[in-house]
Amino acid sequence: ITITISLYVSNANFYDTVIPMPLRNKEENIAENRGARIDKHLRLITMLALMSQGWMLYELHWYRLFEIELQWIQAENYCRNVGGTLVSINDPAENDFVHKLRKKNNIWIGLNKLNDSLGIYKWSDGQEASYLNWDSTQPNEPFVDCTYMKYDERHLGTWYDYGCHSRLPMYFVCELYI
pLDDT digits (tens, 9 = 90+) for 83-110: 999 999 999 999 999 999 987 889 999 9
Same domain, 30 and 108: no
19 compared with 79, residue with greater pLDDT: 79
Give the Cα separation of 63 and 86 in Å (integer). Answer: 9
Q: Pick the residue with more confidence: 131 or 6?
A: 131
Neighbouring CB atoms inside 10 A of 75's CB total 29
The verdict on 137 and 158 lying in the same domain is yes
Q: Which pLDDT does position 22 carry in this prediction?
A: 42
Both 86 and 172 in a single domain? yes
The answer to whether residues 80 and 155 belong to one domain is: yes
Structural domain including 36 reads: 2-52
CATH number at residue 165: 3.10.100.10
The reply to whether 79 and 38 lie within a common domain is: no
Where does a domain end: 12, 36, 52?
52
* Total residues found in the chain within this entry: 178
> Does residue 39 sit in the same domain as residue 122?
no
Q: Average pLDDT of 136-158?
A: 88
Residue 78, Cβ density class (10 Å: 0-12 exposed, 13-18 middle, ≥19 buried): middle
The count of structural domains within the chain is 2
Contact status, residue 146 vs residue 133, Cβ threshold 8 Å: no
Same domain, 87 and 142: yes
Q: Are residues 30 and 73 in the same domain?
A: no
pLDDT digits (tens, 9 = 90+) for 100-140: 998 788 999 999 999 888 889 999 999 999 999 999 999 99
